[in-house]
Amino acid sequence: MARVNSWEYVRKEGDNVGRVGLSLRLIDATTGTTVWKARHARSNSYMFIKPSLKDIAKELAAEMIKYMPPQAKR
């Protein structure tokens, strides 16, 4: 299960920032118990060209999945 916690362009401390926050949860379909979960956010600052929030989200999700325990990846 995935949830988007933030998806926005903001000004932070004088900088333009693209920000994405995600929550991921892996649930065992037979028992309904949570096997693994993670929540993280990533921000990319920019001056003129806005970063793609979609690309930030893809990179963030891939990074989060790297921390999934091996037994949960089966």
Q: The whole model's pTM is what?
A: 0.82
pLDDT band at 23 (very low <50, low <70, confident <90, very high): very high
Domain count, the chain: 1
Residues 34-48 have a mean pLDDT of 95
State which residues form the domain around 20: 2-69
DSSP strands (E only) in 14-59: 15-27, 34-46
> Could you tell me the two tokens for 29?
């379909």
Residue 32 lies in a domain: yes
pLDDT at residue 74 in the model: 62
CATH of the domain at 52: 3.40.50.10610
Specify if 74 maps to a domain. Answer: no
Residues 44-57: pLDDT tens digits?
A: 999 999 999 999 99
CA 25 – CA 49 distance, rounded (Å): 32
The answer to whether residue 41 is domain-embedded is yes
Backbone angles phi, psi at 6, to 5 degrees: -150, 145
